[in-house]
Chain A
Amino acid sequence: QQQVKQSPQSLIVQKGGISIINCAYENTAFDYFPWYQQFPGKGPALLIAIRPDVSEKKEGRFTISFNKSAKQFSLHIMDSQPGDSATYFCAASRRSIQGGSEKLVFGKGTKLTVNP
């Protein structure tokens, strides 16, 4: 119930291509779905996030697609660049009873390599 399953584990894309990373969740109480980008030796950086009342959110080259009925969400990176090479984590959380947010449940990560 608390798991977030992320795929693929690794992804190789050519420069200019589209990178697609998928996540699936079980807990229907989740109401916040962020994506993080992490470079080696650094902390994760919040990339983009979505709530279930929206089916798509776009910020620059990054787009989240959300399918509530299928309990799936995905990250699309358009015009992928070598600088996008990093590990990407999807996550999910839900509103706590106290009104704040509960802990994030993370996927296992996807290592993206964009070849020049």
Chain B
Amino acid sequence: GAVVSQHPSWVICKSGTSVKIECRSLDFQATTMFWYRQFPKQSLMLMATSNEGSKATYEQGVEKDKFLINHASLTLSTLTVTSAHPEDSSFYICSATKIATSGSSLLFEQYFGPGTRLTVT
């Protein structure tokens, strides 16, 4: 398997402050990491794709100046929610891509972190 960690697992912050969430691939190197947001009882909503050493690619409707993503190394990506507001309260999940082989084919398997529960008061 592959292990992806996130820190913190939950955070409460005041409106207007910034919060940083870390995503680490613990036992493999990940050239690509993804950041998702999930609302209760809903599917995962992709926010951005993060490639090591380059700028993140944001999905339509996601404010890149509000959700800052840095992919500093092959095992670490961070998401910073700037000037957080109550509507930013959500479950944020990262994933990291691990390259595996299946016969002669390459598989790009996405492994998810445990998620970070953000509550903005």
Q: Which residues of A contact B (CB under 8 A)?
A: 32, 34, 36, 41-46, 49, 51, 53, 89, 93, 95, 100-101, 103-104, 106-109, 111
Contact = CB atoms under 8 A, between A and B. Distances in A.
Interface of B: 4, 6, 31-32, 34, 41-44, 46, 49, 91, 93, 95, 97, 102, 105, 107-115, 117
Contact of A100 (B44, B108, B112, B115): B108
A111 B41 CA distance: 9
Given A103-B46, A103-B49, A106-B44, A42 B110 contact: no
Nearest to B2: A46
Nearest to A91: B110
Main secondary structure of the interface of B (DSSP, over half): strand
A41 B109 CA distance: 22
Given A51-B102, A101-B32, A43 B115 contact: yes
A93 B112 contact: no
Nearest to B108: A101
Nearest to A93: B108
Contacts of A104: 34, 46, 110
A49 B112 contact: no
Most buried by B among A41, A44, A46: A44
Nearest to A108: B43
